[in-house]
Structure 1
């Protein structure tokens, strides 16, 4: 696999900005609902981690949502709060009460979306985009436009919509892979073609239906997208969106500046996991409990000699404020077991090592969890009693 850094070799010192939609698209995850206190905690953590924008919600949902967005806006000092709108006057009117400067209009662009959802056509989409962007801009808003279902829309219409929005005063153009059907190379080619043909900065909003949202977002950035729409822990409709923590880590490892504090990602990830009721998988990239844990004897022996044998500096635990773990289990070798015994102040002679290895294997098979320090003390104690 070609490293991201190699793909980015022709993009020195380039910056990409992360636009988080955990409070909007993330909360649209089936079964997820945040309280106001949880929303504020998430917004403050996002602000501290360094995202450029926070989609704070949908004002058109009602007065309660407007009040919540107002409360969130007061807590954000770095990121720009954004209100998400449909292409409707009502949505703009409700957004005007939220105290934000930024609004985003989502425009259905595919035939399936225009005709199937709105019973409308492309001419309507273009005229309404122009009218509402001009109206919102005249009222002092900075407006971005999103092409909903862009991945099922021909490029010529995507370009026409972008240029209509630009003439009306929009500041950015988002393409949404609404059904998650792009692959990394098609995401790259789409971003590359659009950035060559439109005058607005490009944003990518990727869904994860085939498990490709992070990869598609990265490749769109390499293709020219300057803004990346993400959610914490990959929350979102169906299979979710591109995960903020994965995109930020990959972008930074490839040499692109995101402004994200990588050491704060684990804390942010846990806040959202708690608020969403979605526990983090232990092997969740970057923020999972066990992603910097090693058990296999060959790996542990090598890492104890030189950590770079199985850890690249770009994904070393300390880069993310994490620590390396050595786990005892079925696959542990002599070096790892001896290190664990020494760390616990227990004897670690060859006879002890030989006697413990089968016990580690049996424990792992029976309990389905790593051996803890107390487990190790108990095993050594039992061995001493048997010998006595």
Structure 2
């Protein structure tokens, strides 16, 4: 394990040890992103890749939605992956029956518990809603499934009520209770407090399902883990409804850097991200953490010079760790040392004054607000009134 300097602050802050597992919900919650539909073959490929990363649980879908969705879930369960396969279930036994037909390992039985959702969505009293939920939990347990009881909109539910519901879920033999921050209202401090208080109420594991409406899904998920949450929910690239969910790739790298959790194969993260971008049509910003095109790109002369000497100066972790590669960008901020390195890689051996001339040309060309390709750089070199020496391959 690389010795990240941040570890000194973890020790000073007395950061607790964590015991976690990851449940990726890309194939269910991720597909609820407007305009995203995964074909059956795409779902299979994504599930296989998640299994290769080492994700413990894959939420494969919501099989009661359609026959096609049910068949896709069945195809995934038939792969015989090491990852457990879970599906979503409303608080009705019919959904559990469909899950059983798919031969899944786990169901996530959910019911909205906030006054807002009960009044305007379910049009039910709390007593009516939870009666349906716990009857469904009991039905699923009687049929041999692992059951996660999920309180939808938990973070806007009356706190005393929420604690009672989770205690009741444990009485009904639920294997997990799940906190769904459905509209992303939490921050790390409130998340940590909520999880630690729920942990006092139940002995079964707690799950944390975060949305990113305030841009804090990752931070909240980490705070939940540090407060004792066991199961952390993610989607690849953070796709999902509205602003999306906790990004798998960011969580796994953060767990490795901050908590020495190194059992996941992070070298597969960038290829997996690209696969999901292709299948979903949702392209990541260039500056996206971990998997963005610019995550390991360097242009500034000072930065490039340091990175060429020792990559750790401006890279917290190596690009190879996440299946990516370093890129040295030619542009307005590219210095002489970087140009010397790039041109040598291209097969040229330019003298110091020639590099300076080339740097001036690069700066003038880059005023068009775009980086310069190697082919363009080659033309600039040949346009110089110098004798070009080729040192060989």
Structure 1-normalised TM-score? 0.93
Contact 1:162 1:200 in 2 (8 A): no
Aligned equivalents of 2:153 and 2:178: distance in 1? Answer: 11
What is the rounded CA distance, in whole Å, between the counterparts of 1:244 and 1:356 in structure 2? 42
Q: Secondary structure at the match of 2:179?
A: strand
Summarize the alignment of residues 238-387 of structure 1 with structure 2, pairs less than 5 Å apart: 238-257=242-261, 259-312=263-316, 315-366=317-368, 368-384=369-385
Match in the other structure for 1:224: 228
Change (3 A) 1:205 1:62: same
1:166 aligns with 2:170: yes
C-alpha contact (below 8 Å) 1:341/1:347 kept by paired residues: yes
Say whether the 8 Å CA contact 1:17–1:226 is kept in structure 2.
yes
Instruction: Measure, in 2, the Cα distance between the counterparts of 1:216 and 1:332.
Output: 38
Distance in 2 (CA, whole Å) between partners of 1:204 and 1:66 is 26
Aligned equivalents of 1:158, 1:253: Cα separation in 2: 33
Secondary structure of residue in 2 paired with 1:204: strand
Contact 1:73–1:81 (Cα < 8 Å) also in 2: yes
- Give the 3-state SS of the residue equivalent to 2:385 in structure 1: helix
TM-superposed CA distance for 1:253, in Å, is: 0.9
Q: Give how far 1:256 is off.
A: 4.6
Aligned to 2:125: 121
Q: In 2, Cα distance between the equivalents of 1:225 and 1:285? A: 24
Output the CA distance in 2 between the equivalents of 1:259 and 1:113. Answer: 39
Asked if 1:152 corresponds to 2:156, the answer is: yes
Please give the per-residue CA displacement for 1:110-149, whole angstroms capped at 9, x wherever unaligned. 1011121111122223322322111111111111111111
Contact 2:236/2:248 (CA < 8 Å) preserved in 1? yes
Q: Cα–Cα, structure 1 residues 138 and 256, in superposed 2: closer, same or farther, change >3 Å?
A: farther
Q: Which residue of 2 aligns with 1:183?
A: 187
Show the counterpart of 1:209: 213
Find the aligned partners of 2:210 and 2:281 in 1 and give their Cα distance.
Answer: 23
Query: Which shows bigger deviation, 115-124 or 242-251?
Result: 115-124
Aligned length: 382
Distance 1:86 1:258, change over 3 A: farther
| Cα pair distance change 1:332/1:275, threshold 3 Å | same
Cα distance change on mapping 1:209 and 1:5 into 2, 3 Å: farther
What is the match of residue 54 of structure 1?
A: 58
The residue that corresponds to 2:391 in the other structure is: none
- Local SS of the residue matching 2:251: helix
Task: Determine the structure 1 residue equivalent to 2:16.
Answer: 11
The 1:62–1:309 alpha-carbon spacing in structure 2 relative to 1, beyond 3 Å, is closer
Q: Structure 2: how far apart are the matches of 1:195 and 1:257?
A: 22
Q: CA RMSD in A?
A: 2.0
Aligned-partner Cα distance in 2 for 1:70–1:214:
31
Match of 1:91 in 2: 95
Instruction: In structure 1, list runs of 5 or more residues that go unmatched.
Output: none
Out of 26, 30, 41, the residue aligned to residue 26 of structure 1 is 30
Contact 1:248 1:262 in 2 (8 A): yes
- Tell me the secondary structure at the aligned position of residue 81 of structure 1: strand
Who is 1:45 aligned against? 49
CA distance, structure 2, for counterparts of residue 258 and residue 98 of structure 1:
32
Give the TM-score normalised by structure 2. 0.92
Cα distance, 1:385 vs. partner? 7.5
The answer to whether the 8 Å contact 2:62/2:88 transfers is yes
Contact 1:85 1:92 in 2 (8 A): yes
Alpha-carbon separation, structure 2, partners of 1:320 and 1:183: 27
| Secondary structure of residue in 2 paired with 1:359 | helix
- Report whether the alignment pairs 1:82 with 2:83: no
**Contact (CA 8 Å) 2:93, 2:139: kept in 1 or not?**
no
